[in-house]
Amino acid sequence: MSRETTEKVKYGNWVSKWLLYMPAATALFFLALSSVSRWFTIAAAFFFIVFAYFALAYLRFSPSGGDLQTKIRDLVLKRLEWNGRGQALDIGCGNGALVIKLAGQYPQAQVTGIDYWGGNWGYSREACRKNAKIEGVSARTTFKKASASSLPFKDSYFDVAVSNFVFHEVKDAKDKREVLKEALRVVKKGGIFVFQDLFLAKTIYGDLDDLLETIRGWGVREVNFENTSKRAFIPGFLKLPFMVGAIAIIYGKK
Ligand SMILES: C[S@@+](CC[C@H](N)C(=O)[O-])C[C@H]1O[C@@H](n2cnc3c(N)ncnc32)[C@H](O)[C@@H]1O
């Protein structure tokens, strides 16, 4: 990749600022009331621990604390076996990290990122475009606002579709399996897909074997599974189900 400026890319953090500010402000609020009752002191301590947990997670996800976010995202690319010719899609691209890496790795590819943006993370299309420019891949990357529940592309349009840590967030789809089905709709026959999400969370996707059978039932030729939550580089404290303790990859060929 040839960089176009000396500016640094900003890919954000999966721990939103809200998850830091909210418990910190609540801890301070209860601390201010601690002379009234010791229960307020206990409440202040509880919210301080919550704050400390998310602050540590924020640090470990960020480039200065081990860059776990990039390492987890890279697991998707490691599963991708592609000749790099054609169109690729990243669903829920955030600030464009995966789109930009794909474009860098496959110099002949055109890569599109879609995202609903506007949530707590502070991701935006502007940030995607800026990052793509910094990394020198603007000409081969496109960013569109859309929901993963209803992709603005015709059936079988893409050679490749990827997604990282997004489907469980899609609020306008009650059944997250439908988001997966929508993602596969836009992949062409014989095209490749690699999706990482909280596929081990039964409350979201139901039974895993049943999920894989359901996908095969949609006519998908090859469906594989990898339990990425077991990766040794992920520290124990992040393996809670609401963090990355239930992540896994579903990949294959349509
Ligand atoms: C945890 S972030 C992951 C971002 C990115 N994939 C990455 O690896 O850094 C979840 C992303 O899902 C996006 N998202 C949430 N609901 C969405 C929807 N309905 N359609 C598309 N993207 C959505 C958010 O805007 C956010 O960018």
pLDDT tens, position by position, 75-109: 999 999 999 999 999 999 999 999 999 999 999 99
User: Which ligand 1 atom sits nearest the alpha carbon of residue 114?
Assistant: 21
Q: What separation in Å is there between the alpha carbon of 115 and the centre of ligand 1?
A: 6
Ligand 1 site: residues with CB under 6 angstroms? Answer: 14, 73, 92-94, 97-98, 115-117, 119, 121, 123, 147-149, 164-166, 169-170, 172
pTM of the model: 0.94
Separation of alpha carbons 161 and 231, rounded Å: 23
pLDDT score, position 229: 96
Tell me the mean pLDDT in the region 46-51: 97
- Distance in Å, CA 169 to ligand 1 centroid: 7
90: CA distance to ligand 1 center in Å?
10
**Angle (nearest 5°) at CA 70 between 224 and 201:** 45
**What gap in Å lies between CA 250 and CA 217, rounded to an integer?**
15
Q: How confident is the model at residue 235 (pLDDT cuts 50, 70, 90)?
A: very high
Which of 100, 116, 238, 243 has most ligand 1 atoms within 8 Å of CB, for mutation?
116
Q: pLDDT at position 3, please? A: 57
Atom of ligand 1 nearest to the CA of 119: 25
Own/partner pairs, 203-211, CB within 8 angstroms, 24+ separation:
204/168, 204/176, 205/176, 205/177, 206/177, 208/248, 211/177, 211/250
Atom number in ligand 1 closest to CA 14? 1
At 70, the pLDDT band (50, 70, 90 cuts) reads very high
CA of 107 to the centre of ligand 1 (A): 25
* Nearest to 97, CA basis, from 71, 119, 66, 65: 71
Centre of ligand 1 to C-alpha 94, Å, is 5
Q: How far is the CA of 121 from the centre of ligand 1 (A)?
A: 9
